[in-house]
């Protein structure tokens, strides 16, 4: 027998580990284990989504005539770790070879490379060709480049996969990137379309009861549960996005609106990252919407760039920078994560909304992640390891390959400039322009010091001041430093003092 191990985020029928699966000589192993469910305290909805999707995928494999060994979390014989489950399957089924696909986290990958010795069996780890750039190709691309820039990688990926290209390998519309058109603030009354809610069957209901019972102390609410748990349901969400939502995606990509956690975002990241949708299919569908004049180019190009450019790029950075990357802290940010990240309890309306959406949906959109919760952690000097653990735990789409470069690198500048050429630091003014949160907030985004001042403001200038040695010579920060240096020294001192008070009482904000 060959044992084909499929991990919880590898739920694709085209998975490389399943390529030569045989109805008679293959046994497919899928296992729910505490090792994977608790290495960070994942959001309840993330665990429920994955367990339900894993159980549905196992049923589909059985319907296709394959032998599947599915181990549930509450199976009394479950060893609760993946190696233990591989061992039990080997002992029960007489296995001569283990086959799997490279996994998404260094933590587990570095364990799997030892299995062959530990088990005294060949363990074949196949390339994950659901991604459009292999790790070796990324390593080749970045070799000899002093500065990595996603934009150049993305252009190469457009050419390599022939996406939105005209003759002569030129970009359609005459430009590679239309982001300048994609930063509109919300207009009054902006409201995204109603999203699909998938009916829950017996499998999902059983998983919801299990998660409520076993993970009661993890963050998040389980009800209501709207997630797609099969490829067919994920496909329905993609279809809704392409037909009804994509046309407005570009314009309002960076907008934030109270009570509208999704606006015009696709919400497919959890499905892509678990394997229910495949990136190239998604890209081709979005591309077709432009060719058929069903969506404008700024929206289609911006959406495709996230998947063909950004998603592949962060994965390449992760695997070519690990294992040191996880411990980086370029700005020596020292503070523990404030409790509000786990409770959502804060008077800052922008933070309360981003964290509240996260607790309710295991989701918040990219500007909330980058410019609200991420920006606050950056300005307040929260230690990257604490922030990264939070992002990895709370989002249904989060695996370390995607979470770490986005959080440590992009949001916190913890890698000193690999992911971003300058820190994404912003004051309350930015949040006020891009959202409607400030009107209902006890703080005022136009004030920098004093009891009603928006905390982002003093923290912003204090961040600039505090990090002048490391950031002061960055040409992209020159304007900020010039403004700070021109500021009246009494005002500077008042800002420092106010920021110091805020930093000492982050949990009271
Ligand atoms: C995230 C997750 C969870 C919560 N549970 C499981 C599990 O029980 N079994 C499993 O095979 N995978 C699970 N996963 C996904 C893995 O953590 C993921 O495959 C690795 O982190 C590598 O990306
Ligand atoms: Fe957030 Fe400041 Fe606006 Fe309040 S005033 S919502 S804290 S940006």
pLDDT at 423 over 90: yes
Neighbours of 31 (CB within 10 A): 27
pLDDT tens track for 335-352: 999 999 999 999 999 999
Please tell me the predicted confidence (pLDDT) of residue 86. 98
Give dist(CA 225, CA 489) in Å, integer: 53
Nearest ligand 2 atom, CA 431: 8
Measured CA to CA, the distance from residue 214 to residue 189 in angstroms comes to 41
Radius of gyration, alpha carbons of the chain: 24
Which numbered ligand comes closest to the C-alpha of 351? 2
- Please report the pLDDT score of residue 251 as a whole number: 83
Averaged pLDDT, 231-256: 93
Tell me which residues have their CB closer than 6 angstroms to ligand 2.
348-350, 428, 431-432, 437-438, 441, 443, 445, 454-456
C-alpha 444 to ligand 2 mean position (Å) = 7
- Under the banding of pLDDT at 50, 70 and 90, the label for residue 253 is confident
Please give the pLDDT value at position 252: 87
Please state the rounded mean pLDDT for residues 65-90.
98
Residue nearest atom 2 in ligand 2 by C-alpha distance? 454
Question: What's the pLDDT tens digit per position in 182-198?
Answer: 788 998 888 988 989 99
Ligand in nearest proximity to the CA of 427: 2
Q: So what's the pLDDT on residue 24? A: 96
Among protein residues, the one with the nearest Cα to ligand 2's atom 7 is 348
Q: Please check the confidence at residue 151 and state whether its pLDDT lies above 80.
A: yes
pLDDT at residue 52 in the model: 98
Nearest-CA residue for ligand 1 atom 22 is 104
Is a pLDDT exceeding 80 seen at residue 74? yes
Ligand 1-lining residues (CB < 6 angstroms): 7-9, 31-33, 36-37, 42, 47, 50, 103-105, 108, 399
Bigger pLDDT: 232 vs 440: 232
Question: Where does the pLDDT of residue 250 fall: very low under 50, low under 70, confident under 90, or very high at 90 and above?
Answer: confident
Residue with tokens 């010091």: 449
Q: Residue with the nearest Cα to atom 3 of ligand 2?
A: 438
The predicted pLDDT at position 133 comes to 97
Stretch 165-194: mean pLDDT? 89
Average pLDDT over residues 147-152: 90
- Cβ atoms of 337 and 386 within 8 Å: the answer is yes
Side-by-side strand order, sheet with 97-101: 67-71, 26-31, 2-5, 97-101, 123-126
Q: Which atom of ligand 1 is nearest to the CA of 7?
A: 11
Q: What is the mean pLDDT of residues 80-97?
A: 96
Ligand 1 centre and the CA of 110: distance in Å?
15
Q: How far away, in angstroms, is 427 Cα from ligand 2 center?
A: 9
pLDDT-wise least confident of 186-190, 208-212, 274-278, 353-357: 186-190
Q: Which ligand is nearest to the CA of 431?
A: 2
Pick 257 or 9 by higher pLDDT: 9
- What local confidence, expressed as pLDDT, does residue 184 receive? 87
Question: Which residue has its alpha carbon closest to ligand 1 atom 11?
Answer: 7
Q: How far is the CA of 417 from the centre of ligand 2 (A)?
A: 27
- Per-residue pLDDT averaged across 360-373, rounded? 95
Query: What is the CA(340)–ligand 2 centre distance, in A?
Result: 15
Q: What is the pLDDT of residues 484-505, one digit of tens each?
A: 999 999 999 999 999 999 999 9
Give SS3 for 155: helix
Answer yes or no: are the C-beta atoms of 417 and 321 closer than 8 Å. no
Residue 326's nearest CA partner among 420, 408, 394 is 408
| Mean pLDDT of the 359-380 span | 96
Q: Which residue has the higher pLDDT, 292 or 146?
A: 292
Q: For residue 8, give the 3-state DSSP assignment.
A: coil
pLDDT at 179 over 90: no
Mean pLDDT of the chain: 96
**Is pLDDT at 181 greater than 80 in this prediction?**
no
For 437, residues 6+ apart whose C-beta sits below 8 A from its C-beta are: 256, 258, 349, 350, 353, 431
Return the best residue to mutate from 12, 28, 36 for the ligand 1 pocket (most ligand atoms within 8 A of CB): 36
Which ligand lies nearest the alpha carbon of 429? 2
């Amino acid at each position: 027998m060959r044992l084909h191990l499929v991990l919880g985020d590898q739920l694709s029928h085209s998975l490389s580990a399943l390529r030569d699966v045989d109805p008679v000589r293959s046994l497919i192993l899928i296992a729910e284990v505490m090792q994977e469910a608790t290495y960070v305290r994942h959001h309840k909805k993330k665990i429920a989504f994955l367990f339900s999707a894993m159980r549905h995928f196992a049923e589909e494999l059985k319907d296709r005539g394959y032998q599947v060994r599915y181990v549930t979390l509450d199976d009394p014989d479950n060893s609760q770790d993946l190696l233990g489950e591989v061992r039990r399957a080997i002992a029960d089924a007489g296995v001569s070879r283990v086959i799997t696909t490279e996994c998404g986290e260094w933590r587990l990958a570095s364990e799997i490379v030892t299995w062959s010795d530990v088990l005294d069996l060949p363990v074949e780890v196949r390339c994950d060709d659901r991604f459009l750039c292999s790790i070796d190709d990324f390593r080749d691309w970045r070799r000899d480049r002093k500065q990595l820039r996603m934009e150049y990688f993305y252009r190469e990926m457009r050419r390599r996969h022939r996406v939105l290209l005209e003759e002569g390998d030129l970009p359609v519309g005459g430009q590679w990137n239309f982001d300048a058109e994609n930063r509109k603030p919300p207009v009054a009354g902006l409201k995204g379309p109603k999203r699909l809610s998938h009916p829950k069957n017996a499998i999902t209901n059983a998983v919801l009861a299990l998660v409520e019972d076993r993970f009661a102390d993890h963050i998040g609410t389980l009800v209501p549960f709207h997630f797609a748990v099969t490829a067919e349901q994920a496909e329905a969400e993609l279809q809704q996005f392409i037909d009804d939502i994509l046309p407005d995606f570009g314009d309002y990509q960076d907008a934030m609106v109270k009570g509208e956690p999704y606006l015009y975002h696709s919400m497919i990241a959890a499905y892509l990252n678990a394997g229910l949708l495949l990136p190239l299919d998604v890209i081709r569908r979005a591309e077709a919407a432009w060719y058929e004049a069903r969506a404008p180019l700024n929206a289609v190009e911006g959406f495709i760039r996230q998947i063909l450019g950004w998603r592949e790029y962060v994965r390449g950075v992760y695997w070519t920078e690990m294992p040191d990357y996880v411990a980086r802290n370029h700005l020596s940010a020292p503070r523990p994560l404030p409790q509000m990240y786990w409770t959502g309890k804060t008077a800052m309306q922008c933070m309360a909304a981003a964290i509240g959406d996260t607790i309710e949906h295991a989701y918040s959109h990219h500007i909330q992640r980058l410019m609200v919760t991420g920006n606050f952690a950056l300005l307040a000097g929260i230690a990257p390891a604490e922030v990264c653990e939070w992002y990895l735990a709370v989002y249904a789409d989060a695996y370390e390959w995607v979470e770490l470069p986005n959080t440590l690198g992009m949001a916190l500048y913890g890698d000193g400039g690999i992911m971003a050429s300058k820190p994404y630091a912003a004051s309350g003014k930015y949040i006020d322009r891009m959202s409607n949160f400030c009107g209902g907030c006890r703080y005022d985004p136009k004030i920098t010091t004093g009891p009603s001042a928006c905390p982002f403001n003093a923290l912003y200038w204090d961040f600039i001041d505090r990090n002048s040695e490391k950031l002061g010579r960055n040409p992209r920060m020159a304007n900020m430093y010039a403004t700070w240096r021109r500021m009246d020294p009494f005002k500077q001192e008042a800002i420092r003092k106010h920021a110091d008070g805020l930093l000492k009482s982050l949990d009271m904000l």
